[in-house]
Amino acid sequence: MRWIDALEELAAGRLPEPVHRYFRQGSAGGISAAEAVDAWNAIRFRPQVLTDVSQIDLSTTVAGTPVDVPVLVAPTTLQRQADPDGEAAMAAGTGAAGSLVVVSSNAGTTFADIGATGTPWWLQIYVARNRSATIEMLDAAVAAGARAVVLTADTPVVGRKEDSGPTVWEVIQPGHLLANLEEDKYTNEDLAKADDLGPDVIGWLAERTGLPVLIKGVLRGDDALRCAEAGAAGVIVSNHGGRQLDGAIPTARALPEVAEALAGTTTEVYVDGGLRRGEHVLAALAMGARAVLVGRPALWALSVEGAPGVTRLLNDLGAELDHALRLCGRANPAALTPDLLG
């Protein structure tokens, strides 16, 4: 068995049951969460032969930041439940693999401590009903060296979870959330997610931070084009790990439409959701993604081996991608094109 395939079971033995359940579960009936990996497994390839693959180069840039491998770490919350050093350990492990981490706005580690690892990072943000809370977090992230802002746009309300037994919120330890916000200043209503957003929020975020803005949660080509026209530097094809609208299509199916809609623009395309193998990464890049993001696997790796586990995960996926590139007849991610897909 591949180490990656064993990670969730190993993590389950180390995490409190409500935490493990929270990390793995989808919303409602769990349909979207359950079918994500199978959607990537269903893709087939048309490899090209008699091409020079003696030298493989996995490096690329993401919103202007160089990375050694086109596999980034997606934003996830409650990382200090997985490892005492939480987001700082996740960042350190990511940096050791030459990649980039997206940090949740719910992080239980200060942005300053994350920035101190030296790993390039983006801030994932929700816009709160009280914009002052959002501004406070944005300013703290800019001061700590964030390279971009990722707006999660698919969460006007939080998708319902069908829990049985104690929930994670009943066992979470104090201080494991919102380390970058003076919570006492805001009510729960203040911190509720804004449900009145339009494309103009992209310009507001860019003006406030001076950073590239990417929109996460895009599953349609027309939405992707609206984001691009509003100034988005990138879109992330995502169904929130199946944690929002249950029955939302798999990202493997949504990606080609989004990439086609953005062809000819400068807006970069990324994808997350169910990517577990180098061949999955190969398929995503051939469809038009600049890089992919992994969420749950990084949490499992952090839970099992801490920062070195995150490094191992990214290195293993990079090695598998290297192998797959050679077998499909391409020497680097930029050379991947949709004609390689069957």
- Phi, psi at 61, each rounded to 5°: -125, 150
Burial 197-233 (b: 16+ CB within 10 A, else e): eebebbebbbebbebbbbbbbbbebebbbbbbebbbb
Structural contact between residues 303 and 282, judged by C-beta atoms closer than 8 angstroms: no
Tell me the C-alpha distance between 282 and 280, whole Å: 5
Q: State yes or no: is 240 an active-site residue.
A: yes
Residue 282 CA, distance from chain mean position: 17
> CA triplet 220, 224, 227: central angle to 5 degrees?
140
Sequence-distant (6+) residues with CB within 8 A of 28 are 159, 160, 162, 246
Q: What is the maximum span of the chain, computed from C-alpha positions, in angstroms?
A: 64
Q: What's the token pair of residue 79?
A: 């990382």
Structure tokens given for 147: 């390279």
Q: Which of 20, 176, 240, 280 is catalytic?
A: 240
Q: Do the Cβ atoms of 271 and 293 come closer than 8 Å? A: yes
Q: What contacts 24+ positions apart, CB below 8 Å, involve 201-205?
A: 201/127, 201/151, 202/151, 202/227, 202/230, 202/231, 202/232, 203/230, 203/231, 205/125, 205/138, 205/149, 205/151
- C-alpha span between 55 and 52 (Å, rounded): 8
CA triple 245-248-250, angle to 5 deg: 135
Active-site amino acid positions: 240
